[in-house]
Amino acid sequence: MGKATREAYGTALVKVGATHKDVVVLDADLSKSTKTDEFKKAYPERFFNVGIAEQNLISVGAGLAAAGKVPFVSSFAMFATGRAFEQVRNAVCYPKLNVKVCATHAGITVGEDGATHQSLEDISCMRTLPNMTVVVPADAAETEAVIAWAAEYHGPVYVRLGRAGVEDVTSEGYTFVPGKSQQLRDGKDATIIACGALVGPAVEAAATLEAEGISVRVINMASIKPIDGEAIVKAAKETGLLITAEEHNVIGGLGSAVAEVVVKEYPVPMEFVGVKDTFGESGTPKELMAKYGLTAADIVAATKRGIARK
């Protein structure tokens, strides 16, 4: 198991801070958990702790962006997208200000913190906002690439980061490009399209299926908005079956985004691996991933269900 994407975020912030003097970082009294404390240690004069006031966090970030800075604002995903949704909508996206909302502790792998802290609807909330780019890195290397890109890109960005360690899947020399996916495996019988913490299990599932004589393509869809419609349609035409896998509610997230492309361009059977429209609970990340159907075995089962429908 590799390191958590939130840890890679902390490392990446220090790197971009060295080359981008206009980058500032804001946090809502969670810097040790979000790993923005690394930036604070390196560049204390460019770090601002606004306290437990997430709505103000976003608004202050918007003000700094209007003044020419490049603010990276962080809190837990539940608070950054839930408590501060109005501010993200009206103070950042509506005026299209250059604010990077980098939210950690997303998804069910928050674990023991329980349902109140397990954000399972943030992708849905953020991708509905005009002008917002939504990215879900799969591992540490991709996180660093995404943050490097975000520092250069002008406009609102939402980056979804996790608490728990994830498998390393990104190849060396990878460069993130919004609207472009990364094919990790080729196959002809089905395509698994995954994001974030489910990319590693998707690769594992494909290996299991290959051993059973089922050839499966795996696509890492880190860019949720804009989404790589070309890769989705190509996979639909060439494999005839799509399975989406995400650590998010099956309503409104990656699966919905992929389905929107498929139903318009090239309808094929689809299966959705994700949290089935319910809240989580307290438990270890491993226990919760198993209980809520987010493991490699669940992806294998979904793929076999889909093949039976072809």
Positions marked active-site? 54
pLDDT in tens, 33-68: 999 999 999 999 999 999 999 999 999 999 999 999
182-309 matches 5-160 in CATH topology: yes
For domain 5-160, the question of CATH label 3.40.50.970 is answered with yes
Q: What order of strands is seen across the sheet that includes strand 223-225? A: 47-49, 23-27, 70-74, 100-103, 157-160, 133-135, 223-225
Residue 192 backbone phi and psi in degrees, to 5: -100, 125
Residue boundaries of the structural domains of the chain: 5-160, 182-309
Q: Cα angle vertex 220, ends 217, 224, to 5°? A: 130
Count of helix runs (H) and strand runs (E) in the chain: 13, 12
Mean pLDDT over 264-287 rounds to: 97
Predicted TM-score (pTM) of this structure: 0.96
**What share of the chain in percent tops pLDDT 90?**
97
Say how far residue 24 (Cα) sits from the centre of its chain.
22
d(C-alpha 252, C-alpha 230), whole Å = 20
Note the pLDDT of residue 216: 98
pLDDT in tens, 250-274: 999 999 999 999 999 999 999 999 9
Note the pLDDT of residue 172: 87
Structure tokens at 138: 């799969």
Half-sphere exposure of 138 (CA within 13 A, CB side): 29
Going by pLDDT thresholds of 50, 70 and 90, the confidence category of residue 174 is very high
d(C-alpha 107, C-alpha 4), whole Å = 13
Residue 1: is its pLDDT beyond 90? no
* DSSP, res 170: P
The bridge status of strand 157-160 relative to strand 190-194 is unpaired
* DSSP, res 222: -
For domain 182-309, the question of CATH label 3.40.50.920 is answered with yes
Structure tokens at 201: 């299990």
